[in-house]
C-alpha cells in the first residue's frame, strides 16, 4: 500500500499569515494515463470531510482562491495564502493512483495562534 | 443540491451485524461510483469499500474483506454496506461518498454527514 506522510502534525498560524502542509508519498503518484491522483480534503470541527483540491492543483467549485495545491511525483503541498478563522480544522491528503486501497495521510491540524 | 444521507448505525455487540444505507439525491446516481469510508473518533480516515455505477466492480479494504458487502439499488439512489462479524475495532463514524471526478473514476469526492457505529459488549 502507498504510504502518505503529512507534516507538520500540528500547524499554529497567525490570522492573515500563510500556511503550508506537506504530503510525501512512498512512491510516485503519476498514473499511466498521465494524471496524478492526489487530493486534499478539509475537515472542520464536527463536520465531514470536504474536497478542496483534486489532481494536485485543481480547486473545487466554491473553494476560496487562497487555497492552492502544487507538487509532482512524490512531493505535494497545500498552501493557504492568508489563513482565516474558518480555515481551522484538519487537512488530509489522499492518493487514488495505486489502489485498492485508496490511502490517506495522517492529517494536519491547523489552528489559530 | 447534491446530498448523501447515511442511516442504520448504532450500538451492536461484537460478532453482530448491521446494515448501513446511504440515500442520495441531486446527481446522476447510476453512473457514479460510491464509496464507504470510516473514521474512528478522534483519528484519521480509512477507505473501506467502493462500488461502480453498474455494480460490476467492487473493492474492499483488507480489514473488512469477507465480512462487509457493498451493494446499491439504482432505482432507489441508495448504496448499502452490510457489516457482519463486527469487531470492536470497527467502531467508527462511517461515511458514504460519491465520485465527482470523471466517468470511470472511483474517488470519494462528495461526502455525507456520517453515521456512528459502535461495537461493544
Cβ of B78: how many Cβ atoms within 10 Å?
19
Interface with chain A: mutation pick from B44, B105, B110, B112, highest number of A CBs within 10 Å = B44
Q: B39-63: per-residue pLDDT in tens?
A: 999 999 999 999 999 999 999 999 9
Q: Which residues of B touch A55 (CB under 8 A)?
A: 101
Which one-letter DSSP state was computed for residue A60? P
Whether residue B61 and residue A100 make contact (CB cut-off 8 A), yes or no, is: yes
Residue A36 CA to residue A17 CA, distance in Å, equals 29
Which one-letter DSSP state was computed for residue A102? P
Q: Which pLDDT score is estimated for B101? A: 84
Q: Which residues of A touch B47 (CB under 8 A)?
A: 99-104
Which one-letter DSSP state was computed for residue B23? E
Whether residue B108 and residue A102 make contact (CB cut-off 8 A), yes or no, is: yes
Residue B58 CA to residue B105 CA, distance in Å, equals 13
Question: Which residues does B3 contact at the CB level (< 8 Å), separation at least 6?
Answer: B24, B25, B26, B112
Q: Which pLDDT score is estimated for A4? A: 98
Cβ-contact B23, B8 below 8 angstroms: no
Q: Which pLDDT score is estimated for B48? A: 98
Cβ-contact A113, A14 below 8 angstroms: yes
Whether residue B95 and residue A103 make contact (CB cut-off 8 A), yes or no, is: no
Residue A68 CA to residue A91 CA, distance in Å, equals 13
| Residue whose C-alpha cell is 463514524 | B93
Q: β-pairing, B68-73 with B58-60?
A: unpaired
- What is the rounded average pLDDT for all residues in chain A? 97
Q: β-pairing, B115-119 with B10-12?
A: parallel
Whether residue A101 and residue B110 make contact (CB cut-off 8 A), yes or no, is: no
Q: CA of B93: which chain A residue's CA is closest?
A: A48
Q: Which residues of B touch A47 (CB under 8 A)?
A: 113
Q: What percent of chain A has pLDDT over 90?
A: 100
Q: Which residues of B touch A106 (CB under 8 A)?
A: 44
Using omega within 30 degrees of 0 as the cis cutoff, is the peptide bond preceding A101 cis?
yes
Q: Which pLDDT score is estimated for B102? A: 82
Q: CA of A96: which chain B residue's CA is closest?
A: B107
Q: Which residues of B touch A54 (CB under 8 A)?
A: 101, 107, 109
Cβ-contact A12, A23 below 8 angstroms: no
Helix (H, G, I), strand (E, B) or coil at B73: strand
Q: CA of B115: which chain A residue's CA is closest?
A: A48
Q: Please give the helix or strand (H or E) that residue B77 lies within, else none.
A: none
Whether residue A92 and residue B110 make contact (CB cut-off 8 A), yes or no, is: no
Q: Please give the helix or strand (H or E) that residue B65 lies within, else none.
A: none
Q: A51-90: per-residue pLDDT in tens?
A: 999 999 999 999 999 999 999 999 999 999 999 999 999 9
Whether residue B62 and residue A102 make contact (CB cut-off 8 A), yes or no, is: no
Amino acid at each position: 500500500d502507498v504510504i502518505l506522510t503529512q507534516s507538520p502534525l500540528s500547524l499554529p498560524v497567525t490570522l492573515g499569515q500563510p500556511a503550508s502542509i506537506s504530503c510525501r508519498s512512498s512512491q510516485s503518484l503519476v498514473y499511466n494515463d498521465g494524471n496524478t491522483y492526489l487530493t486534499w480534503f478539509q475537515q472542520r470541527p464536527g463536520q465531514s470531510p470536504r474536497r478542496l483540491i483534486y489532481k494536485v492543483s485543481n480547486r473545487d467549485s466554491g473553494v476560496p482562491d487562497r487555497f492552492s495545491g502544487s507538487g509532482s511525483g512524490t512531493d505535494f503541498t497545500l498552501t493557504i495564502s492568508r489563513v482565516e478563522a474558518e480555515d481551522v480544522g484538519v487537512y488530509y491528503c489522499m492518493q487514488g493512483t495505486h489502489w485498492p486501497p485508496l490511502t490517506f495521510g495522517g492529517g494536519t491540524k491547523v489552528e489559530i495562534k | 443540491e447534491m446530498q448523501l444521507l447515511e442511516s442504520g448505525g448504532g450500538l451492536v455487540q461484537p460478532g453482530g451485524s448491521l446494515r448501513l444505507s446511504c440515500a442520495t439525491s441531486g446527481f446522476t446516481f447510476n453512473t457514479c461510483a460510491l464509496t464507504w469510508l470510516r473514521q474512528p473518533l478522534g483519528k484519521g480516515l480509512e477507505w473501506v469499500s467502493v462500488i461502480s455505477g453498474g455494480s460490476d466492480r467492487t473493492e474492499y479494504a483488507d480489514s473488512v474483506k469477507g465480512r462487509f458487502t457493498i451493494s446499491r439499488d439504482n432505482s432507489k439512489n441508495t448504496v448499502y454496506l452490510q457489516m457482519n462479524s463486527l469487531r470492536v475495532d470497527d467502531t467508527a463514524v462511517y461515511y458514504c461518498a460519491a465520485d465527482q471526478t470523471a466517468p470511470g473514476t472511483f474517488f470519494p469526492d462528495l461526502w455525507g454527514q456520517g453515521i456512528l457505529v459502535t461495537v461493544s459488549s
